Amino acid sequence: MIGTLALLLAVNSAQSTGAYCKVVHSAQNFQRYYRDLQQGQNSLNPIERFVFSLVLSNSKSPEPTGRT
């Protein structure tokens, strides 16, 4: 019972850190890209979709400059 409580406290404290949020955000991006590549009209096999989704989910989008 003490081990379970310690595990729950550790998970709860990990959720509030920035690293946890970054991992969750990257995983959500990966899922979105993988689904999009699967629904597209290309002929990618699952390994190619996995690699492209991984690359896209870890890429950084350019910051908006606010200039027009």
pTM comes to 0.58
Quick: pLDDT tens for 7-38: 877 777 666 667 677 777 888 888 999 998 88
pLDDT at 62: 57
Of 64 and 33, which is predicted with more confidence? 33
Distance CA 8, CA 41 (A): 44
Q: Which helix (H) or strand (E) holds 25?
A: helix 18-39
Terminal-residue alpha carbon distance, the chain:
59
Q: Exposed, middle or buried, 39 (CB in 10 Å: 0-12/13-18/19+)?
A: exposed
pLDDT at 67: 59
- With a cut of 60, say whether residue 3 has pLDDT above it: yes
Taken as a whole, the chain contains a residue count of 68
Distance CA 17, CA 66 (A): 29
Percentage of residues in the chain having pLDDT higher than 70: 75
